[in-house]
Structure 1
């Protein structure tokens, strides 16, 4: 907890008036679960006895005594320093990341005025997923299963209670406008003021969770009173209708939630989803192989405003469990051959849906190159490739739009009669502020790639076993960093004095800032290589193969170095590693290449498809 004036993000106000033990439990959870954020804790003491004289006085908490709630709020605000004000009622136990998830909505959703949490009874059923204001105020989903899809996406709400966040200036404005606050209608008064007077939005955030102690819920129910003068200008709507907002709806299907910090395909999909969300599409996501997985990648989607539909059990199916959604979907963006092959029959049952087949990379091209490495006979190789190509081309023709990731693969599809092809490449960002480390202050070379992808394993084995021994004859102390998630034994066994295999690293930017050369010795694969674009984002020069250079219009000796055998690749490492002028030229030209693949440029193509 920070105490520096003006250095606080949030001032948390607890309203205490009923039960001292409930207050103590709530405060204990706040102190334990409010981490990694600068905040202060103030207790609005409405007890008849002097709460601040209790054992709570030993905590680092400010107590604000008041005879009524409104004057106590005014006193609390005069003593608070946070930009935001969080209000929590006694008897609510907060859970991990409750505050950071509330704050996310202010940064993600335009014109946010208030964000409230999901409230669950301590015995496990839902207390409220926001409130609906009509003739009276009612809790959304009370006594239902809190894990149901309908209660697990960010949405607009008529009102929030028990645990919510708003900007300090908005609370000050409410007090200045003499909005009447009572302990039983504080949240309702604020919600209506935010929506009607300030013309801002009230949101419900399912990832912020408060547990309501049973004793507290028996003593009061903040949303039980009639709405009276608080009737909103629009009528209350049934909750299920909120799933299907008037905007066009798009459903993304992939085997798993995107893991943009681990693989290139996920990074691209994650950015496409972001573009659609920011363009006000009603975005759904379905992870075909995900089962009741509510981890960090699920949460990342929710915080983008995505409605994540999911399986509770392995035999659940999208078309059965979410049929009411499928009837209102406008676009289905399905990634990878496997998923398009699986869902083609389902899409025939919903002919109103525009089917977008995202190849990610051409399977028959990638697998064919892998088989070539295994010295399969020409006849067998041709037969295997032909079988996959027939399936892939047939699906591409049936789709309304087929997405190729590179111009080369788009032309290849067209040569097989696929005339509905659009190129949507990887999406990259210029890392403003990098390239601050000079050529001579850098050392080492690096590679990055998820090792669940076999071409990456092949690349680093070839690098360490055949390329680097040539390099080490001239530069015996040169260190190789093999970055990437899930390295198998084939990769970890490469570790030595000169080879470091750190496994998954959350922030890899220091490696791109400190290493002198990036290598991508790819002998197998297809599509656009995200690792190369990733390096170029930082202006870190790249050495790769002809396969690695595909899809980005890269030119040898201008913006990349290309070599296709071990000796040539080693010589290019030695040349670039020791040539400052070449390094600077490649670095500058790399940044120019990346400008073609920024979200601003790629989004125009994506949005032209979704018409």
Structure 2
């Protein structure tokens, strides 16, 4: 049986983060091709970590900067190794190359971290993004990781275009694989059976926190026009500063973790997400479309999602526009129904699992059969393997020796 090893940044939490859901989607793709999967991770399990044994996936805790990993990966002898974000490839990539040189190495970016970082810098300096914002330390590390791997998965068409057009990364090293939907449209509550606004997002993720701050700023104007409406803000890992925003009188309610996203979405009339910066695809908006909940967001929020199709509600251009569109979508039943249908169309035409799974597996099989020639063409990757990882390798060995001595 074919062997896949996934090295995770954290143990998947599909009910807490879009990244957790994404990981389970990738696992499903490989299991359908009869891969035996082992998930390795150095992080601690949380109360909300997904029980991977339910999917017949073996799990093992690994140590940072410890040669015990060498034995583990050698014994598993995988055909494919999937790195969960570039930081994991930095930490373990050189060990995989040394002990399993014939394993296909795949990097799942989740989103381009350097893009999110560049946008954060521009946002916090209250200015437009410029090219030099991209060129951070994160940019150099992430691109080096992309070149060292045999294939990198990008979740957004925008990020594919940025990588190819702006940074001239060879298309043979990249693969577009967005969120995948298997869901059929089930009956959901209608317009009149719903009330209140909703927002959702892991509070530890900085763009989500900034979105909550934007909502706090916008909410009074919305509440003035819709005095009976409330805003329910859900998200895992609520911080103390977030709790301080809770205000019953204003109808601005910090609800914390949602036990079931489907249930809280079904009760709500409109999702509002004035996302100021970020990267990748937004899981909250993807799930809203799947579950028949219209939304209002920004151009960054909608980026890479709807293509040339109409949005699942409105994409705002500024604060006043956002407030006006939120009121309109909440009160106009016809526009709400059309928005819901638009969301279903986006899912059906752009994210249905059957649109991607066969081509993805074909790409994996092709690379495995032509791995040597594929790597020979990626000469920059070979240079980076020779040079860049040596510092990571010997720093790791130094830390291990220091730990052993202690």
- Map 1:576-587 onto structure 2 (within 5 A): 576-587=329-340
Residues 305-350 of structure 1 show CA distances to partners (whole Å, capped at 9, x for unaligned) of 1111223x67655633404334x21111112121122223223212
Aligned equivalents of 2:235 and 2:3: distance in 1?
35
User: Is 373-382 or 390-399 further displaced after alignment?
Assistant: 373-382
Q: Secondary structure at the match of 1:482?
A: strand
Counterpart of 1:368? 118
Which residue pairs with 1:534 in the alignment? 287
**Partner of residue 443, structure 1:** 195
Q: Measure the CA separation in 1 of the matches of 2:161 and 2:224.
A: 43
Task: Map residues 178-577 of structure 1 onto 2, 5 A cutoff.
Answer: 247-290=1-44, 293=45, 297=49, 300-311=51-62, 316=66, 319-326=69-76, 328-349=77-98, 350-375=100-125, 382=132, 385-415=135-165, 416-419=167-170, 420-430=173-183, 432-435=185-188, 437-464=189-216, 466-497=217-248, 498-554=251-307, 558-577=311-330
- The whole-number CA distance in structure 1 between the counterparts of 2:153 and 2:39 is 18
Distance in 2 separating the partners of 1:544 and 1:493:
24
Q: CA deviation at 1:516?
A: 0.7
User: Within 1, Cα distance between the matches of 2:64 and 2:174?
Assistant: 34
Q: Is the 8 A contact 2:118 2:129 kept in 1?
A: no
Q: State the alpha-carbon separation in 2 of the partners of residues 597 and 400 from structure 1.
A: 25
Q: Show the 5 A alignment for 1:120-131.
A: none
Looking at structure 2, the residues matched to 510 and 472 of structure 1 have their Cα atoms a distance apart, in angstroms, of 24
User: Considering only CA atoms, is the larger Rg found in Structure 1 or Structure 2?
Assistant: 1
**Residues 514-563 of structure 1 deviation map (CA, whole Å, 9 limit, x = unaligned):** 11101111101000111100111111111100000011125686533111
Q: CA deviation at 1:392?
A: 1.6
Does the aligned pair in 2 maintain the 1:428–1:533 contact within 8 Å? no
TM-score w.r.t. structure 2 length? 0.82
| Contact 1:428-1:597 at 8 Å conserved across structures | yes
Which deviates the most, 268-277 or 558-567? 558-567
Alignment partners' CA distance in 1, 2:255 and 2:247: 12
| Equivalent position of 2:399 in the other structure | none
- 1:403-422 Cα shifts (integer Å, max 9, x gaps): 11111111211132321110
**Tell me, which stretches of 5 or more residues in structure 1 are unaligned?**
1-246
Cα distance change of structure 1 residues 514 and 413 upon mapping to structure 2, 3 Å threshold: same
Q: Using a 3 Å threshold, how does the CA distance of structure 1 residues 335 and 323 change in structure 2: closer, same or farther?
A: closer
Match of 1:28 in 2: none
* TM-fit CA distance, 1:433: 2.6
Structure 2 alignment gaps of length 5 or more: 366-406
Distance 2:47 2:129 in 1: 46
The 3-state SS of whatever aligns with 1:297 is coil
Partner Cα separation in structure 2 for residue 343 and residue 330 of structure 1: 16
Query: How many positions carry a matched residue from both structures?
Result: 358
Within 2, Cα distance between the matches of 1:563 and 1:494?
24
Higher relative contact order (CA 8 A, sep 6+): 2
TM-score with structure 1 length normalisation? Answer: 0.55
Is the partner of 2:38 in helix, strand or coil? strand
Give the match's secondary structure for 2:55: coil
Q: Distance in 2 between matches of 1:574 and 1:357?
A: 42
Q: Equivalents in 2 of 1:323, 1:263: separation in Å?
A: 28
